[in-house]
Each structure stands twice: as structure tokens, then as C-alpha cells.
Chains A and B, each alone.
Chain A
Amino acid sequence: MLEMKSISKVYRTEHVETHALSELTVTVEAGSFVAVMGPSGCGKTTFLNTAGLLDTFDTGTYHLDGQDVSKLKDREMSRIRNEKIGFIFQTFNLIPDLNVFDNVDVPLRYRGMPAGARRQAIQESLDIVGLSSRLKHLPSQLSGGQQQRVAIARALAGTPRLILADEPTGNLDSAMANDIMDLLEKINETGTTVIMVTHDPELANRAHRQIHLLDGRQIDLEMDEPVPLAGDRAATVGE
């Protein structure tokens, strides 16, 4: 599904040069459930941004679903994001002025689907996440877990081939987190590839495979080795 070879990305400011990704080579098979882990600053988010075509990279090649996406124009990248990828953000990123229905509707509109097909797709994906009874609610009227589920429904609505989840349970309590992980597993079972960035080793264990990043490159760790804990937790501030 995803083939990155020697991907490098450098952020340059006036004073500092940050190598977010350093010759990163990653391969993810279609249908797998992969957890991406690493200490803060290791490049997890940058990797996800690159994988999801949210950001460009400097050197290397990237094949997504067999297609070379290195030099695509913005219009084509948008299309791929719309049709092939589903995003789940740590901060949900639901549009606050829209109700549940309209939020899930957003990517479908960009696909130019007719109204009837859209309604059906929205209904189905909300069924999957179990929120079809709250079509008219605003995000402010939902709990964190419910909001994330709507976000997942939004990601699913267009039947993507790849789900990219950035700390999907980072803002949720353990009960809700569990529900979300169940959902992700369920989605993966239908054949969708899931790549999840997380710092929580328990959650990571629920994935089939773990990728560890450090300083912008992949490091090898055996799956049954304890994952380094001390000082590496990416803490969430507030709540």
C-alpha cells in the first residue's frame, strides 16, 4: 500500500535546520494495521503528514497504492486525499458550525457525489460508528468520544483504502479510547489499511505491527521487546 524510500524533509528557519525525516524508508502492506511510535520530536507527525500528502518532502520517492505521488500537482493530490485516504486527527477537527450530518458530508461533496448517494454513504458510515441517531447535533453537543467517532465516520464515508490516524485517542479517557480502538480494528478487518501514530504502548500492541521512529528514521525493535518508556511520553497538556 505505502512505499516510502529514503524520504527526507528538512525545515529551515533563519537560525535552525531541523531534519524532520532523514532517509526514512517504510513499507506498509495493504490491509495491515500499523502503529507508528517514537519519542516526541521523532518525526511521527511529519511522517503522517507526508504519507497523507498533507505536506511535501525534499528527497526520496513515495508510492501510494502503486502510484508514484512524488511530483503530483495540488489538484491531483487533493483528489487522492479525497478518494484514497481517510484522516483521523488527535483534535478531531470537526467543523464547529456544522452538524454531524454536514460534517461527514464534507469529503463527499468534494467528490461530487449526487445527493442520494451521499445520504446513503453518510448513513452507512454513521451506522458503523454507532451515531446515526445524532444527525442534527453540533460537535459542541457531543462528548469527546462521540466527536472522534463522527470524525472516523467522516474518514470512512468515502470508503478510503488507507486510514491515517494521528493519536486518535490522545484526547479521550480510557473507556472511550477502547471504543475507538475497537472501531479501528473493525475497520481494518474489512480490508482497509490503518496506520496509527501513538505514544501509548498498550494501544500500539493492538496493531499487527509496530514501526519505531527516532530522529526522523526508522529503527528496528523486536515486537516483544519492552518499548522504552522513560522520558519519551508525549504528554497532552490540559484537560
Chain B
Amino acid sequence: MEFGPIVRSLFHNKTRFWLVTLEIALTLALVINCAVYILDMGSKMNRDTGMDIENILVVHTEPVSPDFKDETFLSQVRDEDLRLLAAQPGVLSATAFHQIPLSGSGSSAGRRAEGSDLNTIVIPYYLVTMNALRTLGAELESGRDLMASDYPPAGQDDIRDDDGVQRFNVLVTRSFADKLFPDGDALGKAVVNNDGTSVQTIVGIIKHMNNSWPTSDFGSDVMLFPLKPGTAERMRYLVRTRPGGLDALAATLEESMLTTNPDRIITLTSLAEVRDDTFSEDVALVKIFGGVIVLLFVVTSLGIFGLASFSVTERTRQIGTRRALGATRAAILRYFLIETWVITGIGLTLGTGMAFGLNMALASIADSPRLELPLLLTGIVVFWLVGMLAALLPAMRAMMVPPVLATRTV
């Protein structure tokens, strides 16, 4: 393989060579920095939610009658709904939630470990009726599930003890437990709010589930409160069916629920759809970044193709001479492919530096994800292949140049 002469000849042909290497370098830097976004979002979206989302129906009800302002009435409707839902064919479990996981809407509070004097950290929470874990399909790792006795008596949600402190038993996810209790001994311990007026004792630890903001840094931190949710404005339920039972349930549920109480607007959706909706912007961005990558490859391939074509046309006499000196067609093909290989290689080396530089600039200006080595290497390999393919046709054309062109005087 004639590397030495090829490299030396490239340095004598300065401008054209540097233009292509610059283009390749810049393109690699841009492609890689688009790819970091795609990878980052892709990994966030593909993470396991910890819930059986394909089989969970989300039921939104919006009361339109002022009757619902009455706590007792509200409670009654809620209980009736839960009974109705649980009795539907194919339903495994139904629970009322005050907000819906994965939806982008939710509530959160600030908590720290009892006795600690650190600042509180964010903890998204859900007010739930019984069987929340079963409805979600989430696993309990240690401790126990919430029980009926954990719930305050009817109408006394804001019950406080003599010191004015609210106390509840709660379930939390391991992710949150580890943040406040890094030694892993969260079970049985308590977390408190800033002024100590609200204390929650951890009676069970959930292995993993996402809250309403799955892509955030605290996306797996959840606290489940034994407080029956529902207001005069809205009541929400999650219903888990056997695999494949969701559609059948959705078809008849609205009617059934309106029969129980017609003064409300009922909207049904699936938790999978909720998740897709939350991710729709990220998906859109992935598509856009992907589109830009494709365009970059197209443009640079065209550039390499064009340059390779010209380079062949310009050197037909040289090719003829080489053939006259004994080069076979295969040798000519090999020469041009190696030449492309070397140019691409130098361009990619330069491009590696540019990729890191651009990544750092974007990270500071626009919060972009960091570049990791495996991605860079993959990008380099793909690019190399693309470059070779782009130069293949011109190289094959070079190969067909007849030796007699060495002596042609035109």
C-alpha cells in the first residue's frame, strides 16, 4: 500500500486537501453533537417507568354540578366509582390519584430526614386511595403497603396532634430513600418538612417508579400519601386491566360511569398515551436532530464525491501514465480509495478535536449533554464508511482510464 507517497502528495496539493479535511472535520463535529442529544433523549425516554403503563387506563372526571362541593357527596361518589371500576371485567385494580404520573403535571413538597439540619429536597407526591401499587404494577421492595388504618377518618384530612404536627405513614421510592438515607436504612425512619409541622414515616419502599416529570433529575422520586384525593373540580382514577383488556374497558366505561353520576365530563386516555404526550417534544427534537445529521452526511458525501470526481478528471494523464508503468486496474482503484481513506482519516482526526470543542461550547451556552468516547468512535467509523462509499464511483471511473491517455497530446 502506497501510504507514503499518497500522504506526501496530499501535502503538496495544499488547498484542495485542506478544504476537504476541514469540511470532514466540521461535519464530524456537527454530526456528533447532534447525536449526543439523540442519545441523551433516547436513553431518558426508554427508561423503565416502573409501571405497567400499557395496561393502565386514566380516567379524568370533571364534575359540572355544585353538589360536588360537599365533602360527603364527593366521598360517596368516589367510593361508588372505585367500586364500579373494580367490578368491571378484566380489571385488576383501581385507585384514585390526585395527579397522574408521567403527565408533566403534579405536586411536590420539600422534605428532609428527621433530625437532619440539611435543606429539604424536592419530593413529588401523590394522594392515593388503597391499592396504589397494585394499580400501578409497581413493586414493593421492602416494608409494607398502605393499609386502611393509615388513612385519617372521614373529613379529617388535616388532622394534627397536640403539637400541631401532621403525621402520616407513607410509601417512598428507593431513589428518594437513598437520597435522604444513604446508608440504606430508610425503612421506619421519618421525613419532615421545613418547620417540622408535617412528618411522614416510611413504612414501605417502592423499588422504582417515575413521577410526573420522568426526565428530570428527580424523575424517580415519589411519595405516596394515604389521603383520599378528589375536589369539586376534578377526580382522577387509574385503572389497571389484564393485558389487552384496556380497549374493551374504555369502550363501555364512560357510559357506565355516567349512569352512576351523570353530572360530570369524563375523559379516558391510557397511561401509555400520557407518556407519549409528555415525550412528544423530546421525540420531535430527536427527529429534528436526526434530520440534520442526515443532511450533513448528504452534503459532505456530495462534496467528497464531487471532489473525487474532479480529482480523477484532472489526473487522467497521470492515471494513463501509471497504467503505462504497469498499474493494473485494481491498483488504480486501490490508489484512489486509499487516498480517500487517508484524507478522511486526517479530517476525522481534526474533527475529533472540533467535536469536543463544540461540545464544550454548547454545554456552556445551551446546556447540551456531554460527549462520550463510544459515540465518537461510532461516528468516526460510520463517517469513514460513508466517505469511502462517496469516493467509490469516481475511483471506479479512474480505474477505466486507458493507458493510451499517457501519450495523448490533447
CA distance A111 to B331 in the complex (A): 11
**In the complex, B403 has a CB within 8 A of chain A:** yes
CA distance A34 to B12 in the complex (A): 39
Cα separation A74 to B4 with both chains bound (whole Å)? 27
| Chain B hits for A83, CB < 8 A | 326
Contact code string B385-402 (vs A, CB < 8 Å = 1, else 0): 000000000000000001
- Residue pair B404, A138 in contact (C-beta under 8 Å): no
A3 to B203, CA, bound (A): 104
Chain B residues numbered 322-355 whose CB sits less than 8 Å from any CB in chain A = 322-329, 331
Bound-state CA distance A55–B323 (Å) is 11
Interface pair B326/A97, CB less than 8 Å apart: no
Which residues of B have CB within 8 Å of A111? 326
Q: How far is the CA of A99 from the CA of B5 in the complex (A)?
A: 9
User: Looking across the interface, which residue of chain B has its beta carbon closest to that of A73?
Assistant: B328
What chain B residues lie within 8 Å of A154 (beta carbons)? 325
Assembled-state Cα–Cα distance A232/B134 (Å): 105
* Contact residues, A99-121 vs B (CB, 8 A): 99, 102, 105-107, 109-111
With both beta carbons as reference points, the residue of chain A lying nearest to B8 in the complex is identified as A102
Closest to B328 in A: A78
Beta-carbon nearest neighbor of A106 in chain B: B325
Q: Are B328 and A75 in contact, with the CB atoms below 8 A?
A: yes
Find chain B residues with CB under 8 A from A96 CB: 12
Contacts of B317 in A (CB 8 A): 93
Instruction: Please name all residues of chain B whose beta carbon is closer than 8 Å to the beta carbon of A90 when the two chains form the complex.
Output: 409
Which single member of A45, A99, A107 contacts B326 (CB below 8 Å)? Answer: A107
> Is the pair B325, A87 in contact by a Cβ cutoff of 8 Å?
yes
Measured CA separation A50–B5 after assembly (Å): 30
- B407 interface residue (CB < 8 Å to A): yes
Docked-complex contact A82 and B326, CB < 8 angstroms: yes
Q: In the bound complex, how far is the Cα of B409 from the Cα of A91, in angstroms? A: 9
Residue from B321, B404, B409 having most chain A Cβ neighbours under 10 A: B321
Q: Which residue of B lies closest to A112 (CB)?
A: B331
Q: How large is the interface on A (under 10, 10 to 19, 20 to 34, 35 or more residues)?
A: 35 or more
Expressed in whole angstroms, the Cα–Cα distance for A236 and B120 within the complex equals: 93
B12 touches A97 (CB 8 A): yes
Q: Which residues of A are found within 8 Å of B331, using beta-carbon distances?
A: 78, 110
Closest to B329 in A: A74
* Interface membership of B406, Cβ < 8 A: yes
Q: How many angstroms between the C-alpha atoms of A52 and B325 in the bound complex?
A: 10
Pick the residue among A49, A78, A91, A97 that contacts B327 (CB under 8 A).
A78
Q: Please give, as numbers and ranges, the residues of chain A lying within 8 Å of B13 by CB-CB distance.
A: 97
A48 in contact with B407 (CB, 8 Å): yes
Q: Closest approach, in angstroms, between the C-beta of B357 and any C-beta of chain A? A: 31
| Chain B residues within an 8 Å CB radius of A75 | 328-329
Select one of B321, B328, B404 contacting A95, CB under 8 A.
B321
A141 to chain B, nearest CB (A): 11
Residues of chain B within 8 A of A219, CB atoms compared? none
- Which of B323, B328, B329, B407 is the most central at the interface, judged by chain A CB atoms within 10 Å of its CB? B407
| Contact flags A194-215 to B (C-beta < 8 A → 1, else 0) | 0000000000000000000000
* Cβ-closest chain B residue relative to A83: B326
Q: Would B325 and A99 count as touching, CB distance under 8 A? A: no
With A49-B407, A81-B403, A91-B409 as known contacts, state yes or no: A107 contacts B5, CB within 8 Å.
no
B335, closest chain A residue (CB): A109
Contacts of A48 in B (CB 8 A): 407
Check: B9 CB closer than 8 A to any chain A CB: yes
Bound complex: CA A74 to CA B331 (Å): 12
User: A54 in the interface, Cβ–Cβ < 8 Å?
Assistant: yes
Within 8 Å CB of A99, what residues of B?
8
- Minimum Cβ distance to chain B for residue A20 (Å): 12
Residues from chain A with a CB closer than 8 A to the CB of B12 are 96-98, 138
* B372 proximity list for chain A (CB < 8 A): none
Indicate if the CB atoms of A110 and B325 lie closer than 8 Å: yes
B-side contacts of A55, CB under 8 Å: 402-404
Q: Find chain A residues with CB under 8 A from B324 CB.
A: 52, 54, 81, 87
Q: Who on chain B is nearest to A81 by CB? A: B326
A residues less than 8 Å from B409 (CB atoms): 90-91
CB distance from A9 to the nearest CB of B (A): 11
Instruction: Determine how close the nearest CB of chain B comes to the CB of A85; give it in whole angstroms.
Output: 8
Which residues of A are found within 8 Å of B161, using beta-carbon distances? Answer: none
User: Which residues of chain A have C-beta atoms less than 8 A from B163's C-beta?
Assistant: none
* C-alpha gap A54/B403 in the complex (Å): 5
Min distance, Cβ B16 to any Cβ of chain A, angstroms: 11
Chain A residues with CB below 8 A from B318, complex form: 93, 95
Kindly list the 4 A-B residue pairs having the minimum CB-CB distance in the complex, ordered from nearest: A82-B326, A97-B9, A107-B325, A102-B5
A-B contacts, 18 of them at CB < 8 A, read A49-B404, A52-B324, A54-B320, A54-B404, A54-B407, A75-B328, A81-B403, A82-B327, A87-B321, A89-B406, A90-B409, A93-B318, A93-B406, A97-B10, A109-B5, A110-B322, A110-B331, A158-B326
